[in-house]
Amino acid sequence: MYEQRFDKRAFDELRPMEAETGIIANANGSARFRIGNTEAIAAVYGPQEVKPKHLEKVDRGLIVCKYDMMPFSVPDRAKPGFDRRDMEISDVITNALNRAVLLEEFPRSMIDVRVYVSQADAGTRCASLTAASMACADAGLPMRDLVAAVAAGKIGDSICLDLTKEEEDFHEGGATDVPIAFLPSKNEIVLLQLDGKVSREDLKKIVEIGKLGAHKIYELEKKALRRRFSNES
């Protein structure tokens, strides 16, 4: 049984959030997204020349993403270097951005996306993807929509939005973590992963609660971008 969340939130409540763009002066676009005690910073460089050249595509651009956790981002110091998990999350972010950015506008070009987690308390891939999406928009890249990502899941017998590390590690009744990302205005899922076991009916409920959370994140993203460009003008 899981009747009350560790941090006393409602089961459909997001942690406190912050979002800002234009935080790195020498990048074409940049953003910071924080949700609870998880924070990601993203920088976008390009469009630029493709390196190595054999990766170049004649009809569309190429997104190259690198995700990394800073050594001080977790209580037990993160190991330096690019490991299998970093590669997997880099691919997750790339695949989602491929669905959002209009890459046909940039043939024979590369967009370099760098994402760094400065603080981690679960949901790092979702926070990183959200930050990367805002950074792409901040860089002025044409997009079908922003990407809004959040983790939902089932803790014990309760469907929960925006899991913390304590909830991911919940043993009594088990925990299932489902990272989800949407293009909200298109009602399109661009990321759906499942860590654990859950029934088809519960998965539908998890996706629905994730969609509600993603729309709130989406509004925050748009607000951060409007604030950035209104300040510039």
Does 167 reside within a domain? yes
Kindly state the helix (H) or strand (E) to which residue 232 belongs, with its residue range: helix 200-232
Does 6 reside within a domain? no
Per-residue confidence (pLDDT) for residue 2, from 0 to 100: 79
Per-residue confidence (pLDDT) for residue 220, from 0 to 100: 98
Does 12 reside within a domain? no
CA-nearest of 113, 129, 104, 121 to 190 is 129
| Residue ranges of the chain whose pLDDT lies below 50 | none
Does 5 reside within a domain? no
Per-residue confidence (pLDDT) for residue 82, from 0 to 100: 62
Please write down the HEC assignment for all residues of 36-100. CCEEEEEEEEEEEECCCHHHCCCCCCEEEEEEEECHHHCCCCCCCCCCHHHHHHHHHHHHHHHHH
Per-residue confidence (pLDDT) for residue 233, from 0 to 100: 53
Residue 21: give the domain boundaries.
17-232
Do residues 36 and 130 touch, judged by C-beta distance below 8 A?
Answer: no
pTM above 0.85, yes or no: yes
Does 2 reside within a domain? no
Does 3 reside within a domain? no
- β-partners of residue 34 are 18, 39
What confidence tens digit (pLDDT) does each residue in 52-71 have?
899 899 999 999 999 998 86
Residue 113: give its domain's CATH number.
3.30.230.70
Count up the domains in the chain and report the number: 1
Does 100 reside within a domain? yes
